Chains A and B, each alone.
Chain A
């Protein structure tokens, strides 16, 4: 039974961020995690007109890169992500699929012309990672503002929510992971 969530850094990502995400993801899903060797920035996903990277193109690529024993794969990048319909996204995932991607670019205080704050960045990155991986486990956006599955359209929304799943999302997650734990 596949029980590993792989983390794949794309481009240069600080080790401390990757370690933090790995640890929090492990706790949130109670599954093994493994940090893969970094690969270059996803230039194939670059959209010249928008000067952004289309996250859906990255997801396609990630499904090809997941190791055989991998249950899920989470790409972590520092490029600005977007989709054809949205001006930006913090991350994207395949609902009930195996791939998810997050960008830390808009999670940094510096992006909003504020002083860098590592602690805040680590917390935001962990929340986004758990949120997007949550979608791969079939979780939808949640109405509870504090739940990690609540949809955040801006950075204050991410800061408002917690790292945890609310009880109803948790029960769906447990149900959807039942086969893994049997």
Chain B
């Protein structure tokens, strides 16, 4: 039994009735109209899965109806059903975007199978969209991607804290995506339409940082030729994201503390107390508690900031997210570069999985961007990956080696040497201290694909 809504457009009553009766037996919901004008009215009012359109009709012929439907940019497949078949009209109909063209009377199987195919395809597309939505809801929050339990826990924390007004402290190594977490909190807050203003505190000297934060009045200092609003003021009714908060100097720490307590501030050189409604999200890649203990960060400011802490894990602690992230970045850079890259090869992905990613997701993104640019063909091969993916892998060997068998170590060492010699067998054999025949035997034995290793 089928489900779907079909519009029949035919000037002959007997045709409309006959088609309607037949399609209803299949379980379709059917509407039938006698001319093109009524058809155009109907498609604007209702959503149909398929339109069965007669070609020869008075007032407006089928080709004109088809043309107007296409002009209306309605996503409705049109099947031309006609008793007057000529090659010319069939070609014209298909050229104008008809899905198919069939001649009345037709074999009972013919039209039924075309309609079934269309609706099955529409259902698949719908299902695909739903699945993608579900997937994106589960594994993605704004621009943060992760299916690992650690990232799922982060998503939950974001959902919990976002609708409150609490100050949030985000901890995590460089490149883990702290700003993305801050943006996700803002987007899920009660005022996502408000401004999201980011300031990298570590990038600015003290005097400039203060001016950037609080703004200044005309003449406040040399070069202050006109009044300028600071980031705090610009973030009014929104979120201010202070990155690298551990880098701010003692004077700015005091000013910031005062602002967090009073929620008012003065522009540099100004006397007016300005009140703003700003949510502060701070981030650091340093151990703030340690800085407090060392006397380099005010403890009162630390406690003001540390109302709700989110610790973003480094990529090496959530390696199960690498394939998902890799796909995401491949898609991103495929669109940006216009290159026809479909996916990454198993062996290249394996290399990425084994690397420790000290630069975290940012480093992974850079690696994929590099690979998409240099790769030849639709599948990213190991040779398209940047050199560092291999270098650090061998550097990090000692910590892992204890868990590996002798054969695994031998295989990895052979791959390393082959990579360093650009697959020059004679050179590699020389470095390894074995002859070429033995090296070939081992390459075969360990199932090493030379083509994938060649640069």
Contact = CB atoms under 8 A, between A and B. Distances in A.
A141 to B, nearest CB: 5
A1 interface: no
Contact of B25 (A84, A85, A88, A151): A151
A85 B104 contact: yes
What's the interface size class on B, roughly?
A: 20 to 34
B26 to A, nearest CB: 5
A93 B21 CA distance: 9
A95 B25 contact: yes
Nearest to B10: A85
Contacts of B81: 85
Contacts of B105: 50, 82-87
Contacts of B112: 151, 153
Given A56-B17, A151-B112, A141 B25 contact: yes
Interface string A90-109: 00111100000000000000
Contacts of A86: 18, 22, 105-108
B310 to A, nearest CB: 51
A56 B19 CA distance: 11
B272 interface: no
Contacts of B27: 140-141
Contact of B26 (A50, A88, A94, A141): A141
A173 interface: no
What's the interface size class on A, roughly?
A: 20 to 34
B18 A140 contact: no
B307 interface: no
A154 interface: yes
A143 interface: yes
Given A85-B81, A141-B26, A153 B107 contact: yes
Label chain A's interface by main secondary structure. Answer: loop
Nearest to A57: B14
Contacts of B292: none
A143 B17 CA distance: 24
Nearest to A97: B21
A84 B82 CA distance: 11
Nearest to B8: A85
Interface in A137-156: 140-143, 151, 153-154
B6 to A, nearest CB: 13
A87 B1 contact: no
B370 interface: no
Interface string A62-93: 00000000000000000000111111110011
Contacts of B262: none
B257 interface: no
Contacts of B2: 141
Given A140-B27, A141-B27, A56 B21 contact: yes
Contacts of B25: 93, 95, 135, 140-141, 151
B417 interface: no
B190 to A, nearest CB: 49
Contacts of B24: 95, 140
Contacts of A50: 105
A87 B21 contact: no
Contacts of A84: 12, 14-15, 18, 104-105
A153 B108 contact: yes
B109 interface: yes
Given A50-B105, A84-B14, A154-B109, A92 B26 contact: no
A95 B1 contact: no
Contacts of B15: 84-85
Nearest to A142: B1
Interface in B68-125: 81, 104-109, 111-112
A113 B21 CA distance: 31
Nearest to B14: A84
B106 A87 contact: yes
Contacts of A56: 14, 17-18, 21
A151 B112 CA distance: 10
Nearest to A141: B26
A111 B237 CA distance: 82
Nearest to A88: B108
A151 B26 contact: yes
Interface in B40-80: none
Interface string B1-40: 1100000000010110111011011110000000000000
Contacts of B22: 83, 85-86
Interface string B247-266: 00000000000000000000
A94 B21 CA distance: 8
Contacts of A82: 105
Nearest to A83: B18
Interface of A: 50, 56, 82-89, 92-95, 135, 140-143, 151, 153-154
16 contacts: A56-B17, A83-B18, A83-B22, A85-B15, A85-B81, A85-B111, A86-B18, A87-B106, A87-B107, A87-B108, A95-B21, A135-B25, A140-B1, A140-B25, A140-B26, A151-B112
Top 5 A-B pairs ranked by shortest CB distance? A153-B109, A140-B27, A153-B108, A84-B18, A83-B18
Given A85-B22, A86-B18, A88-B108, 14 more contacts: A56-B14, A83-B21, A84-B14, A85-B81, A85-B104, A86-B108, A89-B108, A92-B21, A94-B21, A140-B26, A141-B1, A141-B25, A141-B26, A142-B1
